Amino acid sequence: MDAVTLYVHDIDAMVDFYTRAIALEVIGSGSDSGAADRRAGVVTLGRGTVPLIVLRHAPDLPRRVRGSAGLFHTAILFESRAALAATVLRVAEVAPQLYTGSGDHLVSEAFYLDDPEGNGIELYVDRPRDEWTWAGGRVAMDTLALDPNAFIREHLTEEIAAAPGAQNAIVGHVHLQVGDVAQARSFYVDTVGFEVTVEMPSALFVSAGGYHHHMAMNTWASMGAGPRAVTLGLGEVSIVVPAPDDVAALADRLAHHQIASAHDGAALTFTDPWKNRIAVSAA
């Protein structure tokens, strides 16, 4: 999974939030690139050279309607529990009112919050893969209690707490709100080519290469939602595949299923049944 693009109303406030609370930094090619990008209305934020969130200034767009399809959360994956604990502590210090909960999911440990414009964020660390339990191609996941204060006390180190932004992170998965799980399965599994890892009446988790999930779709607050309008919030989900042949094969599958797509030389773009925009490029 590559960086998630968000349309935002107040780009300065959002940059401030992501840099202070999540300890991301503006990624650019020059010393003044952050200021230049902000004047152009686009800011890319990440850890090191890895982009995680792209903010696009769109103050004239309407706010997303409650119950509509769109982003459930962008999940940022950390390399260690200490790195995760340092960022959770930053959230507690900078924006405790935006924290929404936590969960031990058996395959991972996660903490949840919203950004100031209501876009969901998950901060998580994976358990070692040999601790994941698989049966019949499905992975065991749950939501058990996870105390954030105990997690911070147990795993935080002074060195990492002093510089949480120095710790690597990537977009581990992206979770969407959709209108129908069966339709999501038809699109993301039968057409796009993901494999199902968890399936329930109200949610679907899919992956490639044996991960617990790269994407998920749920109807918990969006059952029956139709195609979404262009609003603040999710702009684009970006996916990177190993080779150009993989992009070409996806284009063929989309054409076979009569799903419109376009390739601009960098990425193949298309939309799911709820008009969530997806971009797929080769590594």
239-277 pLDDT per residue, tens: 999 999 999 999 999 999 999 999 999 999 999 999 999
Q: Which tens digit of pLDDT belongs to each residue from 13-42?
A: 999 999 999 999 999 744 455 555 666 799
Q: Which of 158, 157, 93, 155 is nearest to 124 (CA)?
A: 155
Q: Which tens digit of pLDDT belongs to each residue from 53-64?
A: 999 999 999 999
Average pLDDT, the chain: 96
| High-pLDDT (> 90) share of the chain, % | 95
Distance from C-alpha of 225 to C-alpha of 215, rounded to nearest angstrom: 19
Structure tokens at 98: 């935006």
Q: Which residues are within 8 A (CB) of 101 and not within 5 positions of it... i.e. 6 or more apart?
A: 111, 112
**pLDDT in the model for residue 30:** 46
Number of Cβ within 10 Å of residue 204's Cβ equals 26
